[in-house]
């Protein structure tokens, strides 16, 4: 499967996922609630999580007819967490568009997040049964625990990379892994197949976030829609920086730490020199290698499955995540 | 069963519910998350919702051993909604104690609410299966929809009592009814028994809230822990006031509406005259009669069950709700 075939296949599935969500959301009564949820869900989005559920199920055999309704529960949970995250971060913009809390204020947005959250869990339970519930329940708990761990380590001067990975695991990888695993279970996969997709999803999620962190420094703003070095300006500690702090000599480390403790305005002026220091200590290269290693491990787990379009798509998705420029 | 026997029986069950929650919450990793959840759950609370699940199950037969774990899901959902409500209302105090958002700020409290919400749904699904999930899912959706309806009707000058009851139905009665229904289903009750407990729970929830609204005007502050006429001071439209506005002559109605549109400081001075007007048009008496009628309907549904301690407790609870003074 070449990359344009992959994109066409994904686009078709994404449209089916969108149609399933539109149908499911017709029960909403309040016009304001419907507006917020439409804003949260139908402003684009690649539907990565539901697509993974569909593909993982298809690996095992023809997916049961209700698989799309299980799949959308992961998109809902993702959207719910973005709604609450933007309230918590007082964010006005997400991917260049006004956030729901900027438009409607925090109260209805907290509630709309609760609604999507509940709807996600209901669907996972109704379609996926006890196993579906257990998978999504564990992912949700992991997401909340990761937010608390992140608050806790924000107070450390130099986070170690074990804690960094624990946060990524909960904030990004747990839900992606759950989306994959739920698809396998729903299609009747066995324990080995379940484990393979859990590993695939976890590693894909971790690699996805590392590539995101790299693009923040190295991406083309015209493609990513974000200013170069945005994370550094915000004092956000991501893997390239953590790698560098761990390897730099005392002078360079003190320089970086002083910048990180200083003002955002000062950091904004020093993005280029931070970039230079990260390069000097190969912080970008080490992070990219880590993403590559994770992806190799993700893909090695897929060897137990016979070849076919679903497996091709999962492999294609992994390559896409690693090589994307936005 | 006399009232002190009832209270002793309820207290013993409530301790069992507390022990079940403490055991269930040991999986929490973050110390801050554990602190917030302890504050939200273990600062008192009568455990009405889990007790109803236990009693409803016991009506059908000896409750399955895992019923307490289903029961606590309703306490979690209740606590989650209070956490988010207090964030939304910027409330500093609840029942005379500092709210979690006052102590820890809104971010961790939104997340702690999400955690309890997810844990509630997980338990309902894991213990109650698809039926448990459906019941709790519908109750959660109803709770959110009711918050939106309330925002919408806050803009109306005189809410009609149909809308007032629709809000109560979602905000209070839906969860209480769900707690009752889930107990019946879990114990293997039939459709008629399910319906009887749904009606009991809905009416109990509605009556509970009406009595709350009455106590706000008529209660003894030393017992209720709230200032007399607090709802009126906040311009909150509850049943005694809605009844009065619907029955008052033009002059009295205009007087009340002017107060409601005016300043809180002015309303504070005029609590006694509002009280007098509500009395003049029997706003309190009509509301109390409504609570009584709802309770009669709640109890009439229990006739299909044979007598015994569980039924006695449910009847006793209804009388307690109607006659409480705090």
The pLDDT value recorded for residue B28 is: 95
SS3 A143: helix
| Beta bridge partner(s), residue A98 | A93
A-to-B residue pairs, Cβ atoms closer than 8 angstroms: 139
The mean-pLDDT minimum among A141-150, A266-275, B114-123 falls in A266-275
Binning pLDDT at 50, 70 and 90, where does residue B298 land? very high
Residues on chain A touching B27 (C-beta within 8 angstroms):
141
The CA distance from B325 to A238, in Å, is 56
Higher-confidence position of B19 and B232? B19
Residue B32 in this model has a pLDDT that exceeds 70: yes
Could you list the residue range(s) of the whole structural domain that residue A173 is in? 3-323
| Beta bridge partner(s), residue B203 | none
Residues on chain B touching A122 (C-beta within 8 angstroms):
121, 133-134, 136-137, 140-141
The pLDDT value recorded for residue B231 is: 86
Residue B226 in this model has a pLDDT that exceeds 80: no
Q: Do A111 and B88 touch (CB under 8 A)?
A: yes
Give the model confidence (pLDDT) of B56-86 as tens digits. 999 999 999 999 999 999 999 999 999 999 9
The CA distance from A53 to A127, in Å, is 13
B107 in contact with A, Cβ within 8 Å: yes
A207 in contact with B, Cβ within 8 Å: no
Binning pLDDT at 50, 70 and 90, where does residue A96 land? confident
Residue A207 φ then ψ, to 5°: -65, -40
Region A71-81: mean pLDDT is 97
Nearest to A139 by CA among A189, A73, A200, A213: A73
Closest residue in A to B127 (Cα) is A130
CATH number at residue B233: 1.10.600.10
A111 in contact with B, Cβ within 8 Å: yes
> Exposure string (b/e) for A239-270, b if CB count within 10 Å is 16 or more?
bbbbbbbeebeeebbeebeebbeeeeeebeeb
Residue B17: C-alpha distances to residues B6, B45, B116, B122, B126 (Å): 16, 11, 16, 17, 18
Nearest to A84 by CA among A140, A46, A134: A140
| Mean pLDDT of chain A, nearest integer | 91
| DSSP summary character for residue A314 | H
The pLDDT value recorded for residue A229 is: 81
Residue A303 in this model has a pLDDT that exceeds 90: yes
The pLDDT value recorded for residue B31 is: 95
Which of B33, B106, B118 comes nearest A121 by C-beta? B118
The mean-pLDDT minimum among A83-97, A198-212, B194-208 falls in A83-97
Residues 62-91 of A with CB under 8 A from B: 84, 87-88
| Burial class of residue B11 (count of CB atoms within 10 Å of its CB; 0-12, 13-18, 19+) | exposed
Nearest to A40 by CA among A87, A2, A7, A1: A87
Shortest distance, CA B81 to any CA of chain A (angstroms): 9
ipTM for this model = 0.88
**DSSP per position, A11-41:** HHHHHHHHHHHHHHGGG---HHHHHHHHHHH
Give the model confidence (pLDDT) of A29-51 as tens digits. 999 999 999 999 998 788 999 99
Nearest to B196 by CA among B100, B106, B305: B305
The CA distance from A60 to A109, in Å, is 38
Q: Do B151 and A117 touch (CB under 8 A)?
A: no
SS3 A158: coil
The CA distance from B293 to B298, in Å, is 9
| Mean pLDDT of chain B, nearest integer | 91
The pLDDT value recorded for residue B1 is: 64
Q: Which two structure tokens, joined as six digits, stand for A168?
A: 């990524």
Number of domains in chain B: 1
Binning pLDDT at 50, 70 and 90, where does residue A7 land? confident
The pLDDT value recorded for residue A310 is: 92
Asked if B284 and B278 count as a contact pair (C-beta separation under 8 A), the reply is: yes
Give the model confidence (pLDDT) of B209-219 as tens digits. 999 999 999 98
Asked if A17 and A47 count as a contact pair (C-beta separation under 8 A), the reply is: yes
Q: Which two structure tokens, joined as six digits, stand for A315?
A: 């492999």
Nearest to B127 by CA among B194, B76, B200: B76
**Helix (H) or strand (E) segment spanning residue B322:** helix B309-323
The CA distance from A153 to A156, in Å, is 5
Contacts of residues B12-20 at CB distance under 8 Å and 24 or more positions apart, as own/partner, are B13/B47, B13/B51, B13/B54, B14/B46, B14/B47, B14/B51, B16/B68, B17/B47, B17/B50, B17/B51, B17/B54, B17/B68, B17/B71, B17/B72, B17/B75, B18/B42, B18/B47, B20/B68, B20/B69, B20/B71, B20/B72
Residue B155 in this model has a pLDDT that exceeds 80: no
């Amino acid at each position: 499967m070449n990359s344009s075939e992959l994109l066409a296949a994904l686009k078709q599935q994404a449209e089916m996922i969108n149609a399933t969500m539109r149908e499911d959301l017709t029960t909403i009564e309040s016009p304001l609630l419907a507006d917020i949820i439409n804003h949260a869900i139908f402003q684009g989005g690649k539907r990565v999580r539901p697509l993974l559920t569909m593909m993982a199920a298809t690996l095992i055999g023809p997916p049961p007819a209700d698989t799309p309704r299980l799949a959308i529960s992961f998109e809902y949970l993702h959207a719910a967490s973005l709604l609450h995250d933007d309230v918590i971060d007082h964010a006005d913009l997400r991917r260049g568009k006004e956030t729901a809390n900027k438009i409607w204020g925090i109260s209805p947005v907290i509630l709309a997040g609760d609604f999507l959250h509940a709807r996600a869990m209901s669907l996972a339970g109704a379609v996926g049964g006890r196993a579906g519930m257990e998978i999504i329940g564990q992912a949700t708990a992991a997401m909340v625990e990761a937010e608390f761990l992140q608050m806790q380590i924000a107070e450390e001067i130099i986070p170690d990379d074990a804690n960094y990975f624990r946060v990524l695991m909960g904030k990004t990888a747990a839900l992606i892994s759950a989306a994959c695993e739920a698809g396998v279970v729903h299609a009747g996969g066995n324990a080995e197949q379940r484990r393979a997709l859990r590993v695939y999803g976890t590693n894909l999620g971790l690699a996805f976030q590392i590539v995101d962190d790299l693009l923040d420094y190295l991406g083309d703003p015209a493609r990513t829609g974000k200013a170069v070095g945005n994370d550094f300006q915000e004092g956000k500690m991501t893997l390239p920086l953590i790698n560098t702090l761990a390897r730099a000599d005392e002078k360079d480390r003190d320089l970086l730490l002083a910048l990180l403790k200083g003002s955002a305005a000062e950091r904004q002026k020093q993005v280029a020199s931070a970039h230079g220091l990260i390069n000097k200590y190969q912080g970008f290269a080490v992070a990219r290698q880590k993403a590559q290693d994770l992806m190799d491990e993700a893909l090695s787990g897929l060897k137990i499955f016979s070849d076919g379009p679903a497996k091709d798509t999962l492999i294609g998705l992994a390559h896409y995540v690693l090589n994307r420029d936005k």
